[in-house]
Structure 1
Amino acid sequence: MFDRVYRQRLEADLAQWEARGVIAPATVAAIRGALPPATPGLNIPVVIGIVGGLLIAAAFLAFVAAHWMEIARLSRMGILSAGIVASNGLGAWFARTERPILADLCASVGAVIFGAGIALVGQMYHLGDDFAGGMLLWAVGALGAAALTGSRGALAVALAAASIWTCLRIAEIQDGPHLPFVVFWLAAGALALIWNSRVAAHLVALAALPWWIATATQVILFDLAPFFILANGAALLLGGGMALTATPWQRARDAGGVLANYGAFLLAGVAAMEVIVANDMLRPGSDASLQPAWTIACGVAATIAAFAVGALRRQAGAAFAGAAMALMLVAAIVWPLRTLGEPLGEPWPGYAVVLGAMLCLVVSGMFDGSRARTVAGWLGIAGAIAGITWAVKGSLLRRSAFLAAAGVVAIAMAAALNRLLPRSET
């Protein structure tokens, strides 16, 4: 999809440049000849075929489930096996006839039928006591199918099943992270790198979010500890992604850019939520040092990585991203601070640190030309301002004074940067 959009924009630009005489027709022909063959995209027949395939798969599963008790056990296994073989066989035929989208769909349907087979067989033999184990089996089978067929849909099924599996395990243990999922996630990430697929990179990056969210919310440990844990997770995704973008391998750089974008949006979401729930969840005397040590280590390591990328590659954007992460980690310490004169004063230092972090995120995206990072920073600023303005508790007059002071500081920073930086960068 991204290649198709790029080609359309390039064709429009080439036609415009040629009409204006900027480039010669021979140069236009040379540029078009240097482009790799266009990948086949979705068209109306393919879309209708995808819908038809999904409907047939749903009808198959519904029919088997409706007559499950009437079918002999051996026949049940045969029907499920036949469904898996038929879908993958049809996918192989589509792949041979150069219809990759339909081939991917068939592999995905086969992975779904495999999961349904696990559920139905588990019901048949009364194996429902370990539902999480069944999800793990489904995830491993779907990941194997993805590795053998190159199906992005099967990879999506595998990551969805693995996310359910890890969330169930985290709810059971309630004592630290579920590390086996990390191994599964790294295996899926290796597939995405081997395929050099942007879609697969998005799927892998997205699958990291449920694990961090479930880990942060498994037990409400200490005041805003869930948000602080998420902040460290967001920093790890953002900093780790930026570290990958500094490697000499193009595949790693592409995947790192996707991972960093998801980390930026998660960091912005955490910033907004911290401000919104500050007066409801935050209590005086909370101790930020009671956060799990491993989460702090993740956040600190990612922040150091971002600063290292900025220093080694002379990237101001990476340095500002590191500053954004550092400020969000500092927020764990400054949130408990209070103004005097009220039983539960406003956490002004926390507000200031979060706004500063999101401002650094915006500047980072602008320096590096990262639209996703810039948008995430603006969303974080909007969420923080909304949380400060519309909080039920506290003095609205003081909030307005705080926002005005923050605006004056921001304008002063803009004036200083305007003098220090070249005009082309401001």
Structure 2
Amino acid sequence: MFDKAYRQRLEADLAQWEADGVIAPAAAASIRHALPPLSPGINIAVVVAIVGGLLIAAAFLAFVAAHWTEIARLLRFAILLAGMAVAGGLGAWFAATGRNVLADLCASIGAITFGAGIALVGQMYHLGDDFAGGMLLWSIGAFAAALLTGSRGALAVGLAAACIWTCMRVYDVPDALHLQFLVAWLIAAALALAWDSRVAAHLVAVAVLPWWVATSLRFDFDGAQPSFVLANGAALLFGAGLAISAAPSPRAHRLGSVLSIYGAFSLAVVAFLEVATVDDLFRLRTAAMEAQPLWTIACGVAGVIFALASAGLTRRAGEVLAACAIGLVLVAAPIWPTFAPGEPWFAYAALLCAMLCLVVSGVLDDVRPRIVAGWLGIAGVIAGITWAVKGSLLRRSAFLAAAGIIAVVFATALNRMLPRAER
């Protein structure tokens, strides 16, 4: 939850409780006094200053580009060095005067200029055409800038360069795992944890997705399903996020909650992909035989174990259902062989139950993103079942009707079991 929105809600609750006589005015005042001051946001002046700075930078780049061939090599390189020095100096001045947003922007511009310098040196001196290596070097420089300045923008630049680097390496060597990216990702995750920054946590969560997607699409398995590899990645992200959020540290809780949100949405997307690929809405399979890599299976099992461990620590029933959702999605992927006649009804049922467990898990734990992810997953699975290319539409309608009746019966029984206050 963002600090400003939380403060607004807390202030409204305190005023209401004070008016209703629930708490004394002195207690409300002490609560307000105990809260730390809010960090200054981005006001109109800062927005205008950012736009002005970007316009000046764009004018400078356009001028340099117009006279690029006329500028000597050393002068080009000196211009880029001067750009990095000016960005760093302005960033230090803004940080010293308390204008942290502008300081972060300057650090980001410096990181981007560093990448331009790498490209320029490679072009001028005809260095090796290892473009992926250049992206790695850019990522290292941006990470160093983020570590020294605490810039979220520099961290974003470093993660973006690292994602391009790993995608290129996976493409170049499709039959080997590119584990080096995980080292860079763990460094970024450690920075997000040390900074206690929700923005950095979102960047870290987003950055892990391209590695899983690239690995699932390019890994040279004998008939492996990309959706199965993605399912195990989503399971590990979801389960590990829940386990990290169960730690007693507030920093770990915030980082883990963000990771679990992205894991829940990834699980919903994978559920739709499993239905879409099995019914040939999208051709992602490479052969009829199925041979899933052991490391992906281990990642999925670890995700389930992490979710159950988190449920054991927090004593939340919703996280048990989250583990069930992860397990059902993993079980659904290898249920059907592609050459088997008929339709994979058990897989359809497993995916629907998984998304229903995800929704109920979010309701029990009061986690709205998890609820949204579950509803999106239910909609995607139903859409995939209904508009599949092959199979009898009449049988599909009968299956959906039976599933709906079972869900209504389950809801009725659950309503009778729950206390009236929890309905």
**Band of TM-score, shorter chain:** over 0.9
Match of 1:317 in 2: 318
1:291, distance to aligned residue in structure 2 (A): 1.1
Question: Distance between the aligned counterparts of 2:286 and 2:244, measured in 1?
Answer: 40
Question: Distance between the aligned counterparts of 2:310 and 2:388, measured in 1?
Answer: 38
Amino acid at match of 2:319: A
Match of 1:76 in 2: 76
Calculate percent identity across the aligned residue pairs.
67
Task: Kindly tell me the number of residue pairs found equivalent between the two proteins.
Answer: 421
Describe how 1:90-101 pairs up with structure 2 within 5 A: 90-101=90-101
1:405, distance to aligned residue in structure 2 (A): 0.7
Question: Distance between the aligned counterparts of 1:63 and 1:134, measured in 2?
Answer: 26
Amino acid at match of 1:308: A
Alignment counterpart, residue 382 of structure 1, candidates 346, 363, 379: 379
* 1:413 lines up with 2:414 in the alignment: no
The alignment's C-alpha RMSD in Å is 2.1
Match of 2:250 in 1: 250
Match of 2:292 in 1: 291
1:370, distance to aligned residue in structure 2 (A): 1.0
Match of 2:44 in 1: 44
* 1:169 lines up with 2:169 in the alignment: yes
Q: Contact 1:176/1:215 (CA < 8 Å) preserved in 2?
A: no
Q: Contact 1:61/1:116 (CA < 8 Å) preserved in 2?
A: no
Amino acid at match of 1:330: V
Match of 2:5 in 1: 5
Q: Contact 2:288/2:339 (CA < 8 Å) preserved in 1?
A: no
SS in 2 for 1:334: coil
1:41, distance to aligned residue in structure 2 (A): 0.3
Structure 2 unmatched ranges of 5 or more: none
Query: After superposition, what is the alpha-carbon deviation per residue over 1:366-407, rounded to whole angstroms, capped at 9, x for unaligned?
Result: 111111111101100000011111223221111110001111
> Structure 1 283/154 Cα, relative in aligned 2: closer, same or farther at 3 Å?
closer
Amino acid at match of 1:261: I
1:345, distance to aligned residue in structure 2 (A): 2.0
1:21, distance to aligned residue in structure 2 (A): 4.0
Match of 2:420 in 1: 423
SS in 1 for 2:334: helix
Amino acid at match of 2:365: D
TM-score, structure 1 normalization: 0.94
1:213, distance to aligned residue in structure 2 (A): 0.5
Q: Contact 2:288/2:338 (CA < 8 Å) preserved in 1?
A: no
SS in 2 for 1:247: coil
> Structure 1 311/419 Cα, relative in aligned 2: closer, same or farther at 3 Å?
farther
Q: Contact 2:174/2:220 (CA < 8 Å) preserved in 1?
A: no
1:79, distance to aligned residue in structure 2 (A): 0.8
Question: Distance between the aligned counterparts of 1:167 and 1:282, measured in 2?
Answer: 18
Query: After superposition, what is the alpha-carbon deviation per residue over 1:254-282, rounded to whole angstroms, capped at 9, x for unaligned?
Result: 10110011011011001012112321148
> Structure 1 282/126 Cα, relative in aligned 2: closer, same or farther at 3 Å?
closer
Match of 2:126 in 1: 126
Which region of structure 1 is more displaced relative to structure 2, 277-286 or 70-79? 277-286
Amino acid at match of 1:179: L
Query: After superposition, what is the alpha-carbon deviation per residue over 1:177-211, rounded to whole angstroms, capped at 9, x for unaligned?
Result: 21010000000000001100010000001100001
Q: Contact 1:167/1:211 (CA < 8 Å) preserved in 2?
A: yes
Match of 1:400 in 2: 397
Match of 1:346 in 2: 343
Amino acid at match of 2:23: I
Q: Contact 1:217/1:226 (CA < 8 Å) preserved in 2?
A: yes
Which region of structure 1 is more displaced relative to structure 2, 378-387 or 21-30? 21-30
> Structure 1 66/283 Cα, relative in aligned 2: closer, same or farther at 3 Å?
closer
Match of 1:116 in 2: 116
Describe how 1:49-64 pairs up with structure 2 within 5 A: 49-64=49-64
Which region of structure 1 is more displaced relative to structure 2, 361-370 or 409-418? 409-418
1:61, distance to aligned residue in structure 2 (A): 3.0
Question: Distance between the aligned counterparts of 1:138 and 1:115, measured in 2?
Answer: 5
Match of 2:231 in 1: 231
Query: After superposition, what is the alpha-carbon deviation per residue over 1:228-258, rounded to whole angstroms, capped at 9, x for unaligned?
Result: 0000000000000111112121111110110
SS in 2 for 1:98: coil
Which region of structure 1 is more displaced relative to structure 2, 10-19 or 40-49? 10-19
Match of 2:335 in 1: 334
1:127, distance to aligned residue in structure 2 (A): 2.6
1:25, distance to aligned residue in structure 2 (A): 2.9
Describe how 1:248-287 pairs up with structure 2 within 5 A: 248-280=248-280, 281=283, 286-287=288-289
Q: Contact 2:351/2:381 (CA < 8 Å) preserved in 1?
A: yes
* 1:366 lines up with 2:363 in the alignment: yes
1:29, distance to aligned residue in structure 2 (A): 1.9
SS in 2 for 1:277: helix
Question: Distance between the aligned counterparts of 2:48 and 2:218, measured in 1?
Answer: 42
SS in 1 for 2:37: coil
Amino acid at match of 1:406: A
> Structure 1 282/226 Cα, relative in aligned 2: closer, same or farther at 3 Å?
closer
1:224, distance to aligned residue in structure 2 (A): 6.3
1:65, distance to aligned residue in structure 2 (A): 3.1
TM-score, structure 2 normalization: 0.94
Describe how 1:6-45 pairs up with structure 2 within 5 A: 6-45=6-45
> Structure 1 70/282 Cα, relative in aligned 2: closer, same or farther at 3 Å?
closer
> Structure 1 223/390 Cα, relative in aligned 2: closer, same or farther at 3 Å?
farther
Amino acid at match of 1:319: V
